[in-house]
Structure 1
Amino acid sequence: MNTVDKVNNLSKSDFISIFGNVFEKTSWIAEKTYELKPFLNFKTLQKCFLSVYDKCNDKQYLEIFNLHPQLAIEKFMTNHSQKEQSQSKLDNCTKEELQEFIQLNHDYDKKFNFPFIIAVSGLNKNEILDNFRKRINNNVIEEFEEAKIQVKKIGTLRLNQILEKVNEDI
C-alpha cells in the first residue's frame, strides 16, 4: 500500500493526530484537509493542505503567526519547532547572539504584533540573523505577506517529513 492510500485509510482522529501540527498548533487545518479526502497522490494532499491555509482570512493568519515560537529564546515549543531550531543551531547561541535575538524578537513583535517567522530548515544562525535584521525594516504589509509565505514553507517541509514517517510507520 502506498503512502497516500495509507493516509486515505486513516481515521479522522488519527489523521489529525499525525498532521495536526503541519501548521504550528493549528489542528483545524488538518481537520478541514481531512474532509477533502480521498487524496489521489501526494501532490493532491499537499495542494489540499495549502488550499485550506490559503483560504484563511487575515485574522486567522495572525492567529497562526502568533502560535509560532520566538526564535532562539522560546522555552516551550512543539517537537517540530524544537527540532527545526536545533538543526539551525539556535539552541547553541553565544551570549552576544542570544542578546541580539532577544532584542530583535522584542523589536519585531512590538512593530508587527506577531513573532518573526522564517523557515529555518537549511539555514544557519548567521543566515537567520541576517534575515531578521533585514526584515525588521519591512513595513507591516510586506512583513505580513512574508510571514504568510514562510508559514507555508514551514508547513510544506513538515508535511514532507510527516509523509516520510507515515510511509515507514503505517
Structure 2
Amino acid sequence: MSIDELNDYGRVQFVEKLGAVLEHSPWVAESAWELGPFVSKEDLHEKMMRIVRLSPAKRILKLFRAHPDLAARLVAGEYSSREQRDAGLDRLEPAEVEAFMSMNRTYTDKFGFPFIMAVRGKTKDEMLSAMGMRIEQDPETEWQEALAQIDRIAGFRLDDLIDESCVEERADRHA
C-alpha cells in the first residue's frame, strides 16, 4: 500500500493494517492515526515511535512483554514468527535451542521482559552474542536498547508494508 492509501483509511482500517507493526500493541496505531496525514513512511514511523517513547513506563513494559522469546516454540505474532523463521531460529539443533532458552530465562529474570532484537539479517551466533553482552548491561541502558530494537523492528515492518515508489512517481509527474 502507499502512504496516500494509508492516509485515506479510517481509524478501523488503519489499525487493521498497522496494528501488528508493534507486537500485539494496536494502541500505537490507534494513537498514530490521530496524527495523520503522514508525508512519508519515515514520518509515520517517527510518530509511532514518539507515541511509544512518551507513553508511561507501565505501558512500554507491556509492549516489551508482548514480544516472544527468541527461538521459543510458543505462538508468536505473524511478523515475529516470520522474522524468526527467516533468521533460521526454527531450525536450531537441540543444544542451540537450550542455549537460547537459558539466555532468555537469564535475561527475563534480570530485566523483567524478554530479550528484544531486530533479527533481520542476523545469524543465530550474532543473536546469542548480543544476548550475552546485553545481559551485562544495567537496567536503564537495556531499557533504552530494547526501545531502539523496537524502533528498528517497526522500521523493517513499515518498509515491508508501505511502498513509496508511487509517491515518487506522482512527484515526478508534478515536477
TM-score under structure 1 normalisation? 0.91
Q: How does 1:1-170 map to 2 (within 5 A)?
A: 3-164=2-163
The question of whether the paired residues in 1 share the 8 Å contact of 2:41 and 2:158 is answered with no
Q: Which runs of 4+ in 1 moved over 4 A?
A: none
SS at match of 2:95: helix
Give the Cα separation in 1 of the matches to 2:150 and 2:124: 19
- Separation (CA, whole Å) in 2 of partners of 1:27 and 1:11: 15
Aligned amino acid, residue 33 of structure 1: A
> What CA distance in whole angstroms lies between the structure 2 residues aligned with 1:43 and 1:110?
35
Q: SS where residue 154 of structure 2 aligns? A: helix
How much has 1:144 moved relative to structure 2?
1.1
Q: Distance in 2 between matches of 1:118 and 1:43?
A: 20
Q: In the alignment, which residue of structure 1 is the partner of 2:169?
A: none
RMSD of Structure 2 on Structure 1 (CA): 1.6
**Seq. identity, %:** 31
Q: Secondary structure at the match of 1:123?
A: coil
User: What CA distance in whole angstroms lies between the structure 1 residues aligned with 2:73 and 2:141?
Assistant: 25
Cα distance between partner residues in 2 of 1:160 and 1:53: 19
Return 5+ residue gaps in structure 2 as ranges.
Answer: 167-175
Please say which of residues 152-161 and 62-71 is displaced more in the overlay.
Answer: 152-161
Q: Which runs of 5+ in 1 are unaligned?
A: none
CA distance in 2, matches of 1:74, 1:146: 25
Which amino acid in the other structure matches residue 32 of structure 1?
A: S
